[in-house]
Amino acid sequence: MSASLKANYEGKRREIARPQDGPLEATLVEHVALCWLRLQMMEQRYTRATRESMSLALGDYWERKLSSAQRRYLRAAETLARIRRLALPVMQVNVAEKQVNIAGAGPRL
């Protein structure tokens, strides 16, 4: 991996990571950053390939490759967001013998 690609990946990883992330979230953060990097690389390749005229079959090939990279990135980001929502802490409050369970009001993605 070139130095600039590695720097882009590390920057994206730091951007979406949170200090309170557990092991599962840390793994998903890395996956999201990697999918983002692959999407950037595919967009560059797509742009280079579509600058000149090409056959319908080749155009379809590049469209499918780009769409696939976009889907992977979105799926990874949605999975991370879903896991983070599930990890919200539950707080129990006892007031005058009445028990109330409240889901944590952490940030929503």
**pLDDT score of 2:** 80
R_g (Cα) of the chain, nearest Å: 20
Q: How many CA atoms lie within 13 A of 6 on its CB side?
A: 3
Residues of the chain with pLDDT below 50 are 105, 107-109
List the chain domain ranges. 3-103
- Put simply, whether the predicted model's pTM sits higher than 0.85 gets the answer no
**pLDDT score of 103:** 56
DSSP class of 52:
S
- In the block, tokens 């991996």 appear at 1
